[in-house]
Amino acid sequence: MAARLSPLLFIAALALLFAPGGASAQQSLCADCHFANAGGPNPLHLHEWDLSAHGRAGVGCEACHGGNPKTVESFLAHQTIVRGHGLENPVNRRNLPATCGRCHSGPYSEFQGSKHYLLLRNGDPAAPSCSTCHGDVAAYLLSPKGLESECNGCHGRGKKQERAEYAADARFLLQSTRDTRRLLNSARSLITRVTDAKLRASLQYDYEQAMVPLQEAAHAGHSFVFDKVEERLGVAMRRAEALTDRLANLGARAPDR
Ligand code: HEC
Ligand code: HEC
Ligand code: HEC
Ligand code: HEC
Ligand code: HEC
């Protein structure tokens, strides 16, 4: 197969395979210059980007800020970037759902159904945006306790929007999501060790059938009304348990692995 490709094409294909950041062969020059500019704006933000899932996945500065990432000329790079904190800026907290949502359509579409989104679009500064829970660029994932504190920051005792039960429910559901994910992760590592290819494929299928509703539950949480989360999570948990039972039975029947 390789022999039939022209050598140049072959090398180009290899370069694509080994390009840093995997899928994105095209490189962003924004970060290079900003990191080289010690006195430049927002050094903490650069640090967070560097350590984040975004930095690792090659999601460049232009993904959220716009601009031209292919030039080393500061003027050309920034020409189309909106300066300041106005409403036309894609990183204004009011615009973040759409800016982040270009890549994260699951959380975005659920968020659009929430009261929070409505308030945010109407310019209410008390409403949360994506950055409230995930940071500007860091892509933090809150722990269950952290999420509870976040909700309580606005809905806790004595607050204007007091609804303490929101926070407790959110914490409980996130904890269950995490537990189910952990169960499935251990199942996955067992599955890779099954030697029979057909059996392995069938177990892998069951694993994916449990992951889908789990992912949907994590996305549904962004509507902040938890009926759908509970329903999806319930399905994921039943499938995860059935898979674990299957694996346990295999272990009992074939101890010679
Ligand atoms: C050649 C160096 C260089 C390149 C390339 C570059 N920047 Fe900058 N950038 C700077 C410097 C220096 C500043 C601070 C001075 C200024 O505001 O112009 C800055 C400012 C900024 C600001 C703050 C603007 C404001 O006023 O609010 C943002 C946002 C930004 N850059 C994003 C980007 C993005 C996105 C890219 C790529 C599309 C990029 N930069 C490419 C050097 C660069
Ligand atoms: C995932 C989206 C995202 C990415 C990627 C990202 N930023 Fe930002 N950036 C933001 C958000 C959100 C803010 C906060 C804006 C605010 O509070 O008004 C911000 C703020 C800034 C600021 C402060 C000035 C301003 O316009 O508010 C600078 C400078 C900046 N970013 C530069 C960069 C550079 C350079 C990179 C690449 C290394 C980068 N950003 C990558 C989302 C991002
Ligand atoms: C250009 C596409 C793009 C944009 C725009 C973008 N992201 Fe991401 N995001 C990614 C990729 C790629 C990853 C890493 C792959 C992954 O973990 O799913 C990621 C990871 C994440 C994660 C971590 C998911 C995990 O499971 O660890 C969160 C949270 C996140 N992004 C939130 C945001 C927020 C909030 C914004 C806007 C401020 C944003 N993203 C803007 C592409 C994008
Ligand atoms: C009130 C807090 C909160 C807000 C606001 C919020 N999220 Fe989330 N987000 C979460 C929680 C909690 C999770 C689930 C984390 C987990 O599963 O460990 C999550 C998960 C995610 C993930 C990972 C989903 C996956 O596939 O595993 C992405 C991406 C994400 N959010 C993007 C966004 C975007 C985009 C916005 C704005 C439209 C947003 N979030 C607003 C709390 C929030
Ligand atoms: C930055 C502040 C803030 C955070 C954080 C926040 N909320 Fe809210 N939330 C609000 C505001 C403001 C309202 C509007 C209150 C009203 O109209 O009564 C609201 C409304 C709601 C509503 C709709 C209430 C209704 O009667 O329609 C629900 C549900 C909700 N929040 C759940 C949550 C949950 C769950 C969390 C944590 C995952 C959370 N919120 C985090 C500010 C916040």
Coil vs helix vs strand at 232: helix
Nearest one of 186, 175, 174 to 210, comparing CA atoms: 186
N-term to C-term CA, the chain = 36
Residue numbers of the chain with a pLDDT score lower than 50: 1-25, 255-257
Q: Tell me, what amino acid is at 144?
A: P
Tens digits of residue pLDDT in 137-168: 999 999 999 999 999 999 998 888 888 899 99
Taking the CA of 133 as reference, the closest ligand is 4
To test the ligand 1 pocket, which listed residue (71, 81, 95) has its Cβ within 8 A of the most ligand atoms? 81
Tens digits of residue pLDDT in 98-122: 999 999 999 999 999 999 999 999 9
What is the phi/psi pair of residue 27, to 5°?
A: -100, 145
The Cα 165–Cα 169 span in angstroms is 6
Atom nearest to 34 CA in ligand 2 = 35
**What pLDDT shows up at residue 159?**
87
Atom nearest to 116 CA in ligand 4 = 5
Taking the CA of 137 as reference, the closest ligand is 2
Q: What does each C-alpha distance from 112 to 14, 70, 82, 145, 165 come to in angstroms?
A: 41, 33, 24, 25, 22
Residue 110: alpha-carbon gap to chain centroid: 14
Taking the CA of 128 as reference, the closest ligand is 5
DSSP 8-state secondary structure symbol assigned to residue 28: P
Q: Distance, CA 50 to ligand 2 centroid (Å)? A: 12
The Cα 211–Cα 177 span in angstroms is 11
User: Is residue 63 in contact with ligand 3, taking CB distance under 6 Å?
Assistant: yes
Ligand 2 site: residues with CB under 6 angstroms? Answer: 30-31, 34, 41-42, 45-46, 49, 54, 59, 61, 63-65, 85, 91-92, 96, 131, 136-137
Q: Distance, CA 86 to ligand 1 centroid (Å)? A: 17
User: Is residue 64 in contact with ligand 1, taking CB distance under 6 Å?
Assistant: no
Tokens of 243: 């898979």
Q: Distance, CA 107 to ligand 4 centroid (Å)? A: 6
**What pLDDT shows up at residue 9?**
45
**What pLDDT shows up at residue 254?**
57
Q: Distance, CA 155 to ligand 5 centroid (Å)? A: 7
User: Is residue 139 in contact with ligand 3, taking CB distance under 6 Å?
Assistant: yes
**What pLDDT shows up at residue 12?**
44
To test the ligand 2 pocket, which listed residue (33, 47, 54, 61) has its Cβ within 8 A of the most ligand atoms? 61
